[in-house]
Structure 1
Amino acid sequence: MRQTKHKSLPFGETIDVKKVIGKKVLTNDGKKIGKVKAIHIHPTELTVEGIQVDTGMFDVDQYIDKNYLGSLTEEGAVLKVTPLAEFLDHDVYDSLGKKVGNVKAINRSNMTNNVLSITVELEGSDKKIVISADYIAAMGESIMLKEPFDEKGMQEVK
């Protein structure tokens, strides 16, 4: 192959985007969330701006901004984060290990991956409350709160 280039990566160190389409997308902790559906490139800077993730037949596709991409190879993409949508229906526990309920909605700052609050359906009822991010200690396989849960003073959602 003939090359015409100036101050760019050697051809062998670049990625053929056709080979990335359809490959897996993993979160920062290794969970597969879908497949690369499209790679979006800035029209004048010619840099990757993000990827579109096919999350399956019944889920809504996701767009992941370049700031949340850890790596992009011919094997697929690895994210720097776990997208907040992955925490829907996760169990919520207080600091004593008591199950509070399940996450039903996540309120985030604009379109970032920063949590403002979560809406939780309380265990054993259909009552929903909003818990501020200030009270969340950790988000992983489940959501852990910083304090023992006390329903009093929590904002109920209709």
Structure 2
Amino acid sequence: MDTLLIRQNLTRQGKALHVLHHLLMEEFSHLLDGEPEKVSIVEMALQELMRQIAVERLELKSMLGSEPGKDVRLADSMDKFSPEDQKAIMEVTMQVDEMEQTCARQADKNRSLALALFDQSSSMIHYLHDQVKPKNTTAYSANGRFAKAPKGAPMVSGRL
């Protein structure tokens, strides 16, 4: 196994996770500012970056000799490397894991804020709908026009 390629792959993953964290922070600020158009643009970039990270992980697994139905973990393959390489790979792996945890925490904050904003918007829409909806349900017909007035004797006022 080529330890240089494995270390380069892990380094690329670490850098991608740093970019991911910055994008998540940007998404959070757009959520706070109430800018849904900018949130969707950042979300598209996030999805593409996640796809690229997944490709890097698949490449690492193939370097380690993973086959369909048989996953090989990096930790299980460490005994194949020299002690110096093991130390270097573990350092990079720990950095990647730390950035992964940071990104996961930020993504959870973004999710919570997005759900809270959704709930707030839904509540506001229901409130406004209730305010606009006529209180007298017999005033309008199903197609939005005035309902026919009930036929009955009208009250006559005036002189006879």
Mark yes or no: TM-score above 0.5. Answer: no
Specify which structure has the higher proportion of helix.
Answer: 2
Question: Structure 2 length normalisation: TM-score?
Answer: 0.22
TM-score computed with the length of structure 1 as normaliser: 0.23
Higher relative contact order (CA 8 A, sep 6+): 2
Question: Larger % of strand: which?
Answer: 1
